[in-house]
Amino acid sequence: MLACSMNLQAPAKINLHLSILGKRPDGFHEIESLMVPLTLADSLTLELGEPGIAFRCSDPTLPCDDSNLVVRAAKAFFEKANLAPNVRLHLEKAIPHGAGLGGGSSDAATTLLGLNQLYNRPLAPGLLHELAAQTGSDVPFFLARSAALCRGRGEIVEPVPFPHALPLLLIKPGFGVPTPWAYSRWSGSRELPGVSYAPQAFPWGTLVNDMERPVFEKYLLLPILKRWLGEQPETVGALMSGSGSTCFAVLRDGADGAALEARARAAFGEVWTCLCQTVVE
Residue 278 per-residue DSSP state: B
The rounded distance, in Å, linking the Cα atoms of 11 and 13 is 7
Backbone φ/ψ region at 242: left (φ over 0), alpha (ψ -120 to 50), beta: left
The rounded distance, in Å, linking the Cα atoms of 119 and 212 is 42
Contacting residues for 40 by C-beta, under 8 A, at least 6 apart: 11, 12, 94, 95, 101, 170, 274, 276
210 is catalytic: no
DSSP string, 39-55: EEEEEEEEEE-SSEEEE
Catalytic residue among 42, 138, 210, 226: 138
Give ∠ CA 129-132-136 in degrees, rounded to 5.
140
**Helix residue spans in the chain (DSSP H):** 69-81, 103-118, 125-135, 139-144, 179-184, 212-218, 221-231, 257-268
The residues carrying an active-site annotation are 13, 138
